[in-house]
Structure 1
Amino acid sequence: MKFTVDSFRAWEHKKITLLGMSGVGKTYISNMLRKHDWFHYSGDYRIGTRYLDEPIMDLVKAQAMQLPFLRDLLRKDWIYIRNNIKVDDLGPVLSFVGKLGNPELGGVPLEDFVRRQAQYREAEIAAVHDVPDFIRKAQEVYGYKHFINDMGGSLCELEDPAVIDLLAEHTFILYIKVTDAEQEQQLISRAQSAPKPLYYRPEFLLQELETYLQENGLEYAAQMDPDAFTRWVFPRLFHSRIPRYEKIAREGYTVTSRELSQVQTQEEFLELLEAAIAREN
């Protein structure tokens, strides 16, 4: 969607999609707006509760079945295990994606990792296709005036143009751009200090995996320390995503992470969006 400042102000039911790297403030803004009659749609929450719920539970049950005591209870249906993912705690999704590397160090073997990556990609695409229906339900069922769509940092990796077309058709796309080297390094350092599971484009993963193995004198992914590989690859992933996000941003508007960090209220957020529109126009 494209606007003038006046048409944006007159837009009665605002529908915004936030795009950007993890850590730029998407969830912070979404949580703030939830207090002001905005429906918060979390793509990762939808992935975990709808599209990966069964695979997550299968993985957990497979681990539980390795313990004789729990195996007996599960097979006799005397206990059950459920997914308890929360909007602000996506632990089950992260555990399912996992980190590539030595299983003895908590890593996931390459074949399983690639399969889980493919499942995650399909789940994220499906979660995006749910956005129009949740826009409708947010207003008609739950009575919210506005809609904020908080997408995960891997959206730019999906290589599915229909996903971006759908978001551009139904929402105001706002790209949050990291603009200076200091903040870029802060985001990278934060990610490296506590490595989390990540989604990679298949071509990117195989290319970077080959480079890492060569640099470290390893033959197989199963020999890698999962955290060491994740720390090593994150800056490369970060920089590979920037041109992909900038391409998507042509369908919407751009603000900087510095600008967004100054936002404290709904009014300030809307003023920032108007400034972004005015800059482009």
Structure 2
Amino acid sequence: MKLPAKEFSKSKHKHLTLLGMSGVGKTHLSKLLGLDDKWYHYSGDYRIGAEYLNNAILANIKQQIKQDGCLADLLDNDSITVQNHITFDNLSSVSSFLGKVGNPELGGLPIGEFNRRQALHREAEARAMLDVGEFITKSQAQGYRHFINDAGGSLCELDDNKVYQSLADNTLIVYICAHEDNESALIECARTHPKPLYYQQNFLQQQLEIYLQENQFSYVAQIDPDAFVRWIFPRLLRHRKPKYEAIASQYGCTIDSIDLHQCQNSSEVMELITGAIR
């Protein structure tokens, strides 16, 4: 059930979940609100890496270390240790674990291992989102009046009504819709800095088949990982957009990225969000 605009406006405790692609403005919005220290910032990606994928991340790093005989001995006799120093501003350990599919000689992962990590990430993201209600309670106990859940761009890929309903019960879901110019910038960023991404398995399989055929490849191991990310990203945008829209339509509201980037302070952000609630 959606939160009426009048009720949201009068509420002394504002709880938000930000929905949208990475780079669309979620962090910008969080920082504008964060100028007011009454906001508690919950990062879904941080929770994923620090809690639910931490052991898998460390196991992967240790496996790579053990490929060096000297380092393997040091690790086995506890002369060296490995830690995951993830922060809100540095989520590279999660990104590195997720990886890219393709030629191992170019840094890619075999399709089986890639799918295994994708499945672990999906489960971790769902659990992190189901933790939001608990963290709202904790934040209030710590004296915070408001709460913002900066969710990952792949939240729409979960297709899990239990997760979406839980978020809607505890927060107002705000979808930041990428303006056409913003979409172009996102695509250009993916072209120049291709990053690991989460894909729904059926979508990935379909796109891999198309890519292999277009490039006359026989195996996934022939794929250049970065080239594949550059190629698939615009398709991923088109795949995710109706999913974002459906979630916002059922559970929340939508604001435009251009309107958001014109906001200068928290008051203007809240006015934009309140005006978007129908």
Q: Same fold (TM over 0.5)?
A: yes
Inter-partner Cα distance in structure 2 for 1:45 and 1:172? 20
Query: For residues 49-198 of structure 1, what are the structure 2 equivalents within 5 Å?
Result: 49-140=50-141, 142-180=142-180, 182-198=181-197
Deviation of the 1:5 alpha carbon: 3.7
- Paired AA for residue 122 in structure 2: R
Inter-partner Cα distance in structure 1 for 2:115 and 2:6? 47
Q: How many residues align?
A: 276
- Paired AA for residue 197 in structure 1: P
Residues 117-126 or 259-268, more deviating:
259-268
Inter-partner Cα distance in structure 1 for 2:234 and 2:166? 29
- Paired AA for residue 71 in structure 1: A
Residues 219-228 or 26-35, more deviating:
26-35
Contact 1:195–1:227 under 8 Å retained in 2: yes
Q: Does 1:264 align with 2:235?
A: no
Inter-partner Cα distance in structure 1 for 2:17 and 2:182? 22
* Residue aligned with 1:93, SS: helix
Identity %: 53
Query: Which residue is equivalent to 2:39?
Result: 38
**Structure 2 CA distance for partners of 1:106 and 1:143, relative to 1, 3 Å:** same
* Residue aligned with 1:154, SS: helix
Query: Which residue is equivalent to 2:241?
Result: 242
Inter-partner Cα distance in structure 2 for 1:198 and 1:60? 19
Can you list the C-alpha shifts for 1:228-264, whole angstroms capped at 9, x where unaligned?
0111011101101000011001111111001111122
Query: Which residue is equivalent to 2:200?
Result: 201
Contact 2:100–2:197 under 8 Å retained in 1: yes
Contact 2:100–2:108 under 8 Å retained in 1: yes
* Residue aligned with 1:123, SS: helix
Inter-partner Cα distance in structure 1 for 2:106 and 2:3? 51
- Paired AA for residue 231 in structure 2: W
Inter-partner Cα distance in structure 2 for 1:3 and 1:153? 23
Using the size of structure 2 for normalisation, the TM-score is 0.97
* Residue aligned with 1:164, SS: helix
Inter-partner Cα distance in structure 2 for 1:2 and 1:8? 10
Contact 2:3–2:252 under 8 Å retained in 1: no
Inter-partner Cα distance in structure 2 for 1:236 and 1:223? 21
- Kindly report the root-mean-square deviation, in angstroms, between the aligned alpha carbons of the 2 structures: 1.1
Query: For residues 16-27 of structure 1, what are the structure 2 equivalents within 5 Å?
Result: 16-27=16-27
- Paired AA for residue 98 in structure 2: V
* Residue aligned with 1:57, SS: helix
- Paired AA for residue 189 in structure 2: R
- Paired AA for residue 178 in structure 1: A
Contact 1:139–1:145 under 8 Å retained in 2: yes
- Paired AA for residue 214 in structure 2: E
Using the size of structure 1 for normalisation, the TM-score is 0.96
Inter-partner Cα distance in structure 2 for 1:270 and 1:164? 22
